[in-house]
Amino acid sequence: MANNPVNLEALLRLACVPGVGAGKLRALIGQFRSADAVLCASKNRLIAVPGIDASTAQKIQNHKGEQFAREQLGRLKKSGGQLLSFWDKSYPKLLKHIYDPPAMLFIMGEFAETDQYSVAVVGSRQPSNYGKIATEKLAGELAARGITVVSGLAYGVDTIAHRSAINCGGRSLAVLGSGIDVVYPSENRQLASAMQKSGVVMSEYPMGTGPDRGNFPRRNRIICGLSHGVIVVEAGQKSGALITAAIALEQNREVFAVPGNIDSSKSIGTNALIKEGAAVVTSIEDVLDTLSVPLSPILTGVERTRPDIHLDDGQKRVMAVLSNEPTHVDQIANTTGESAATILSRLLNLELMNLVRQLPGKMFVRL
């Protein structure tokens, strides 16, 4: 358990008082120095705190949250999670300085010192093949440089970003729009479990909170707050990733966008961001150049790069045919003048080298 100077049970009791959100929690504890002192304070002393009116003060004095607090701590203990308060030494430094930081975070896993060098990768829940490849490439290369990848564990780009970072031996942080014991989508439970060993799964919402629609836009401020910049890979006209980008700008974070096909609905949002001034990302160097100052401590360290890969002549011929657009195995065979069976054997070896990916229908793309 992290070294938390605030009594967690008292903090949870105070947090479940109607009308006492993160801002008022911070103001109250800032004034009284502890959650216990707030719960014991007189009405007049409570009203003296900015933002606390007579009605809220009365609710604090009358509210009984012991059962809620004990239930939450019991669930945390059973799941192996932790509760981090704003006043804890382990609370992320970058997050403390946004407009409305969470007063507490429910977490699975442990924050590392290097997590202060983070970049968020967000985008469509139904990315194109181009979007999938771009996400995998960018997130993987960030992780290879020792940069922590942040996202929201949603379908599509979020999932690919987290998995790519972990597969490259890096760290990843996931911010949920539900309780940390209610992973959504449920298909990502295994990924969330893996992330606890090389990152953190977190939420400001209590244990047991379902994935209500209104929770997701609010959690986006945490994704941005944890990061020096936000990369938007693909986004439709009304994508949640655009909300994240807008929040990033409000928090004075850098916004990057991957340019896309002008005829693709999935690129409307990213291309619009570029028109509005977002930095264009065509390679990881575009991100690193822009964020060279805040990321300099981690970039001067030893990079985790994959070893040199030596290809034989046949594999080189196959790679020369492939691109980030899906190519059928028969087309590769016709171009190289070799049999489909030979090409499939070579493609399997290239896939094991993480250079090629197979798509449905015997289609292949270059990574």
- Is 98 a domain residue? no
Q: Do 70 and 140 reside in the same domain of the chain? A: no
Amino acid at 152: G
* Residue 78: other Cβ atoms inside 10 A: 10
Share of the chain above pLDDT 90, in %: 66
Q: For the chain, how far is it from start to end, CA to CA, in angstroms?
A: 40
Which region holds residue 354: left if phi is over 0, alpha if psi is between -120 and 50, else beta?
Answer: left
- Please indicate, yes or no, whether residues 121 and 34 belong to a single structural domain of this protein: no
Q: What is the pLDDT of residues 128-187, one digit of tens each?
A: 999 999 999 999 999 999 999 999 999 999 999 999 999 999 999 999 999 999 999 999
- Domain limit, last residue, from 276, 299, 322: 299
Where is average pLDDT lowest: 19-28, 211-220, 263-272, 353-362?
Answer: 353-362
Q: How many domains does the chain have?
A: 3
Q: How far apart are CA 106 and CA 198, in angstroms?
A: 17
Q: Which two tokens stand for residue 56?
A: 């809220």
Residue 30 corresponds to which tokens in the numbers above? 């800032």
CATH of the domain at 41: 1.10.150.20
Calpha distance 160→133 (Å, rounded): 9
pLDDT digits (tens, 9 = 90+) for 268-311: 999 999 999 999 999 999 999 999 989 988 887 544 444 467 88
Looking at the domain assignment, is residue 272 inside a domain? yes
Pairing verdict, β 172-175 and 229-232: unpaired
Is 103 part of any domain?
no
Q: SS3 for 365?
A: strand
Within a domain: 183: yes
Residues 343 and 224 in one domain: no
Domain span holding position 236: 113-299
Cα–Cα distance, 23 to 12 (Å, whole number) = 14
Name residue 11's beta-bridge partners. Answer: none
Looking at residue 134, which CATH number applies to its domain? Answer: 3.40.50.450
Q: Would you state the pLDDT for residue 158? A: 96
Taking the C-alpha atoms of residue 39 and residue 41, their distance in angstroms, rounded to an integer, is: 6
Q: Please give the model's pTM, rounded to 2 decimal places.
A: 0.81
Residue 329: pLDDT above 50?
Answer: yes
Q: What is the DSSP string of 227-283?
A: -SEEEE----TT-HHHHHHHHHHHTT-EEEE----TT-GGGHHHHHHHHTTPEE-SS
Task: Judge whether 100 lies within some domain.
Answer: no
- Residue 347 sits in a domain of what CATH number? 1.10.10.10
Name the residue type at position 58: Q
Query: Does residue 217 lie within any of the structural domains?
Result: yes
Whether the link from the prior residue into 297 is cis, omega within 30° of 0, is no
Alpha-carbon span 192 to 323, nearest angstrom: 31
Residues 346 and 293 grouped into a single domain = no
